[in-house]
Amino acid sequence: MRSCEVCNMSHRLHRLCHEIRSTCKGFVICRSVATRTGVRKRGSRRKLFLNPSNLRIAESDVDWCCVSRGERGGRKPPSGLKQEMNMRSTSIFAAALVVGPASLVMGHGSMKDPVSRVYSIHLEGPKSPDSEAARAAISECGTQPFYDWNELVNFFPGDAEYQASIPYEQSIPDGRLASADNDKYACLDMIRDDWPATQVQAGPRELVWFATTPHNPGVFRAWLTTDDWNATDPLNWAQMVELEVGPVSFVGQDYRFETVLPERTGRHVLYVIWQRQDPVGEGFYAACDVIFGDVDAEPIGACCIDEGCQLITSNSCSANGGEYNGDNSLCAEAACDGGMQGPDSVSVQLVNDWGGGYEASMTITNSIGDLPMIDWELTFDEGPGISSIWNAILEDGDGGTVIRNEFFNGYLEPGASATFGFIVNDGTWPPAFVNAELNGMHAHIEGADHGGGGHDPCPADHDGDMMVGVEDLLAVIAAWGTMDHDMDVDGDMMVGVNELLLVVSEWGGCD
């Protein structure tokens, strides 16, 4: 078979395949090849993850192959395109080798509230889940899909207009909605009436998508099972009604948007798709089990702490003052409201200084409150130029720097700490950090330089016009008594007298 370009790679590098495909101007499709068993399974452009669970093929055994659709009896690739493809694919793959495969494995999240099936199993712990449904899913799929909980994906290449209104029912078959027709996650399609569920009520409801990697532009769509659906039915498009959703905001690591839940009784499924609007057409899928109850019903939703959710056992739920509702439920949200949390503390320590550069360590401590920290994220607008880091993940944020926990050191009980190290090859000790925040709250970094521009030189200038005046005063008054961290200059978790006095003391032009 003559091909436009053949490229074997781990299925985790499928993005490269699709970039090659876009250069081939639509003449390339993607298919999965199970090399070890000799089984070859072809799929359509809509079915990209073809690792059949019944074959038990490991991820390392599955290669991705870009082949010419024109050579299968259809159109022929344009002349001269093969040479262009060879050059382009070579450069793309070389870049991938330089960056390294791990950096290309970019999971993108799932529903946090109501919690999705895949995320709830991840939170229970794939190696020792609590619920019967989770144990059954892991028995069918293995543990890997639930470590890759944020990679439940399918692809719909096209333009932004098409991707805003994709007719998913034409490509994702009935009975395969929870897995997004992705064989790796097929166990999520199991028909069960005991999936861990979130208690909800009819009426306005905020939906929260936990984004491990934010993407813009994109569109969120949501569906709810019809009133005649029950948990013994497979998820199917005929028994789904699409809901209207409001504007989307991005707070911390969460996309938040409103909808209105219609009247239902008992168990139902909320189905949410986050579709990226780009040529590749990557989209992420979440089936969220919910239980509609009376107004006075005790909530059994995800217990949201800091920037994550945690599934809780009976003992730990009671220890946190919550109410436990059985093996297949989560800790009551009310338990979270009774706790106190944040802001927490950050410190930086010098390890070695060689003049013009240094090695340092930073410590994140869950120092305030009686709730565990699920994940941590340190951000700052300006700071030292970190050349290497360990025990943490360094990323470029929106106009600044982001440092996140690794998978093994994000969960911190009250009073516990996590330490990571880094090297600055061009800089002097101590470092200065501008507008540092930990988990979205203002952070005072102990050990840093606070006298040489470590903080915003004009913190009372809330509207950014380099003038402290009436607009800034009105902004403080509007946020009075809240925990608005953008306005909470002194970091005491309350906008109040100190912020007002700061405006008065800095009245006039910023120096």
Residue 195's closest CA among 316, 312, 318, 287?
287
Burial of 85 (0-12, 13-18, 19+ CB in 10 A): buried
Determine which of 99-113, 153-167, 241-255 has the lowest per-residue pLDDT on average: 99-113
Q: CA 453 to CA 135: how far, in whole Å?
A: 53
- pLDDT value at residue 269: 97
Q: Half-sphere exposure of residue 489, counting CA atoms within 13 Å on the CB side?
A: 20
pTM more than 0.75? no
Residue 35 has pLDDT above 50, yes or no: no
Determine which of 113-127, 150-164, 201-215 has the lowest per-residue pLDDT on average: 201-215
Token representation of residue 447: 């050990």
For residues 416-426, average pLDDT: 95
Q: Is the dihedral of CA 500, 502, 508, 509 positive or negative?
A: negative
Compute CA distances 254 → 116, 173, 307, 374, whole Å. Answer: 14, 29, 8, 14
Residue 74 has pLDDT above 60, yes or no: no
CB 112 within 8 A of CB 309: yes
Average pLDDT, the chain: 71
For residues 377-382, average pLDDT: 92
Written as one letter, the residue type at 507 is W
- pLDDT value at residue 456: 58
Residues 6+ apart with CB under 8 A from 148: 107, 184
Determine which of 107-116, 266-275, 324-333 has the lowest per-residue pLDDT on average: 324-333
- pLDDT value at residue 178: 96
Residue 250's closest CA among 210, 280, 290, 278?
210
The share of the chain scoring above pLDDT 70, in percent, equals 64
For residues 64-72, average pLDDT: 34
Burial of 43 (0-12, 13-18, 19+ CB in 10 A): middle
- pLDDT value at residue 371: 64
For residues 472-498, average pLDDT: 75
Token representation of residue 210: 């936990």
Beta pairing, strands 203-210 & 254-261: antiparallel
Residue 201 has pLDDT above 90, yes or no: no
| Torsion, CA 467, CA 470, CA 472, CA 476, rounded to 10 | 160
Compute CA distances 160 → 5, 165, 166, 237, whole Å. Answer: 27, 9, 10, 23
Kindly provide the residue ranges of all beta strands, DSSP E only, lying in 100-184, ordered along the sequence. 110-113, 153-155
* 435-467 pLDDT tens trace: 888 877 777 788 998 764 444 567 788 887 888
Residue 359's closest CA among 426, 447, 429, 422?
422
Residue 291's closest CA among 255, 318, 267, 322?
267
- pLDDT value at residue 248: 85
CATH topology assigned to domain 108-292: Coagulation Factor XIII; Chain A, domain 1 (2.70.50)
For residues 260-266, average pLDDT: 89
| Reported confidence tier of residue 424, pLDDT bands at 50, 70, 90 | very high
Determine which of 13-22, 247-256, 356-365 has the lowest per-residue pLDDT on average: 13-22
Beta pairing, strands 198-200 & 282-292: parallel
CATH of 344-446, one of 2.60.40.290, 3.40.50.2300, 3.30.300.30, 3.40.50.300: 2.60.40.290
Residue 114's closest CA among 213, 197, 221?
197
Place of tokens 């219609």: 262
- pLDDT value at residue 307: 33
Determine which of 58-72, 342-356, 406-420 has the lowest per-residue pLDDT on average: 58-72
| Reported confidence tier of residue 146, pLDDT bands at 50, 70, 90 | very high
Residues 6+ apart with CB under 8 A from 333: 299, 301, 302, 303, 304
- pLDDT value at residue 320: 44
Residue 331 has pLDDT above 90, yes or no: no
Residue 186 has pLDDT above 70, yes or no: yes
Q: In what order do the strands lie in the sheet with 254-261?
A: 110-113, 203-210, 254-261, 249-251
Residue 25 has pLDDT above 50, yes or no: no
* 206-250 pLDDT tens trace: 899 988 876 666 889 999 999 999 999 999 999 999 998 888 888
Q: Residue 396, SS3?
A: strand
* 332-359 pLDDT tens trace: 433 333 333 445 689 999 999 998 999 9
The share of the chain scoring above pLDDT 90, in percent, equals 30
